[in-house]
């Protein structure tokens, strides 16, 4: 006979998207959102991760970079993009005169998936309300999605990153009782991919030039 299904165990750590949406929408500040995530037990990734990796940089920055999920170094330090990919991201930002005092950086998921596996679609959907609220609270002028997982999730697209990158799209925030705004969003190649595939750095450079030009439009 098959062993009984462990439905209870799964249910204990699997919240619903509706709950996540209500919790995230209630967070009135980034500090409140961080505290909400710290107390949230609905996503099982929390229990295998060492840290909540919330965000880094300047929350008043014009530009917000969003990656996939923390890796080992980020999990150990509790800060996004501090490993090898993060060092390349710092260089990519520096190439358009940005650094962590003039940018804000986070991920679509705040906990490291075990063994750095790609987050499942269920995990991404469950945590989507939190990254959405995170974007609303930072309210940047420009968004940059790093890699296919972030771009597909936030643009609600099944297209691969090679199709999504290099073109401006918009990400809508607000609605209901909050002001609606469309934020220009550029998807580009993930720095971890660029470490493995340096020939694609040219393409990422084109995308970064677009970001720099867009930021300049907002400054003039």
Q: Footprint of ligand URA on residues 103-132 (CB under 6 A)?
A: 107
Q: Is 107 left (phi over 0), alpha (psi -120 to 50) or beta?
A: beta
> Which residue's CB is nearer to ligand URA, number 81 or number 130?
81
Beta carbon of residue 70, minimum distance to ligand URA (angstroms, whole number) = 5
Could you tell me how many residues of this chain bind ligand URA (CB under 6 A)? Answer: 13
Q: What is the Cβ-side half-sphere exposure of residue 9, based on CA atoms within 13 angstroms?
A: 4
Beta carbon of residue 182, minimum distance to ligand URA (angstroms, whole number) = 25
Instruction: Tell me if 192 contacts ligand URA by CB under 6 A.
Output: yes
Dist CA 168 CA 50 (whole Å)? 36
Instruction: Tell me if 70 contacts ligand URA by CB under 6 A.
Output: yes
Dist CA 108 CA 132 (whole Å)? 9
Stretch that binds ligand URA, among 9-17, 57-65, 77-85, 200-208 (CB under 6 A): 77-85
Instruction: Tell me if 67 contacts ligand URA by CB under 6 A.
Output: yes
Vertex 114 angle, CA 149 and 46, to 5°? 90
Stretch that binds ligand URA, among 28-36, 63-71, 120-128, 175-183 (CB under 6 A): 63-71
User: How deeply is 73 buried, as exposed, middle or buried, from its count of CB atoms within 10 A (0-12, 13-18, 19+)?
Assistant: middle
Q: Which chain residues interact with ligand URA by CB under 6 A? A: 67-71, 74, 80-81, 83, 85-86, 107, 192
């Amino acid at each position: 006979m098959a062993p009984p299904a462990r439905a209870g165990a799964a249910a204990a750590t699997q919240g619903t998207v509706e709950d996540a949406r209500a919790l995230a929408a209630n967070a009135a500040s980034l500090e409140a959102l961080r505290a909400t995530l710290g107390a949230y037990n609905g996503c099982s990734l929390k229990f295998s991760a060492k840290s909540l990796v919330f965000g880094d940089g300047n929350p008043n920055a014009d530009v917000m970079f969003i990656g996939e999920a923390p890796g080992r170094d980020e999990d150990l330090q509790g800060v996004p993009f501090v490993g090898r990919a993060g060092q390349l991201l710092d260089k990519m930002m520096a190439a358009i005169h940005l650094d962590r005092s003039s940018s804000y950086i986070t991920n679509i998921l705040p906990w490291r998936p075990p063994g750095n596996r790609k987050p499942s679609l269920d995990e991404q959907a469950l945590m989507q309300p939190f990254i959405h609220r995170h974007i609303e609270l930072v309210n940047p002028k420009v968004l940059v999605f790093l890699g296919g997982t972030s771009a597909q999730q936030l643009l609600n697209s099944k297209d691969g990153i090679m199709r999504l990158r290099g073109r401006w799209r918009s990400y809508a925030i607000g609605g209901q009782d909050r002001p609606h705004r469309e934020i220009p969003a550029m998807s580009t190649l993930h720095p971890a991919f660029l470490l493995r595939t340096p020939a694609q750095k040219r393409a990422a450079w084109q995308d970064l030039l677009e970001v720099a030009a867009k930021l300049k439009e907002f400054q003039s």
